[in-house]
Amino acid sequence: MFSLDRIPVTGASFEECPEGVAIISQTCDIVLSNRPNVIVAKVVQLPVTEAKQATEGYRPRYVGLPDGGDRLFVDLEHIHAVSKKALVDKTFVHAIKHGDAAGVRRFSFLVGRRFSRFAFPDAITYWFDPLRQTIEDKYSNPSSPLGRVLSHVVELRVQADDWNAPQASVTLHIIVSSGGLPEVGDEHVLPETGLARWLRPNGTLSKNSSAIAERLSPRDGTKPSNWDAYHLWNALGEALAEECTPKAKFMSKPGVRGAISTISGQVWSEDVFSLSLYRDTELLDLDHLSVPLASPELSKG
Query: Which 8-state DSSP code applies to residue 293?
Result: S
Q: What is the pLDDT of the chain when averaged over all its residues?
A: 86
pLDDT computed for residue 181 by the predictor: 94
> Out of 41-50, 92-101, 203-212, 252-261, which region has the weakest mean confidence (pLDDT)?
92-101
Greatest CA separation for the chain: 72
Query: Which pLDDT belongs to residue 289?
Result: 56
Please give the order of strands across the beta sheet that includes 260-269: 260-269, 168-176, 153-160, 282-283
Please determine, for residue 297, whether its predicted confidence score (pLDDT) is greater than 70.
no
Q: Is the predicted pLDDT of residue 291 greater than 70, yes or no?
A: no
Which of these, 32, 19, 116, lies nearest to 71 by C-alpha position? Answer: 19
| Rounded Cα distance, 174 and 122, in Å | 22
> pLDDT digit string (tens) for 150-162?
989 988 999 999 9
Percent with pLDDT over 70 in the chain: 93
Give the pLDDT confidence of 97-154 residue by residue, as tens digits. 878 888 888 888 888 877 777 888 889 999 999 998 888 888 778 889 998 999 899 8
Q: What is the pLDDT of residue 45?
A: 93
Residue scoring higher pLDDT (90 or 68): 90
List, as one string, the DSSP characters of 75-109: EEEEEEEEEGGGGTTS-B--SS-TT-HHHHHHHHH
Residue 288 or residue 271, greater confidence: 271
Percent of the chain with pLDDT over 90: 45
Q: Which residue has the higher pLDDT, 74 or 292?
A: 74
Q: Mind spelling out the 3-state secondary structure of 11-44?
A: CEEEEECCCCEEECCCHHHHHCCCCCEEEEEEEE
Model confidence at 52: pLDDT above 90: no
For residues 256-276, average pLDDT: 95
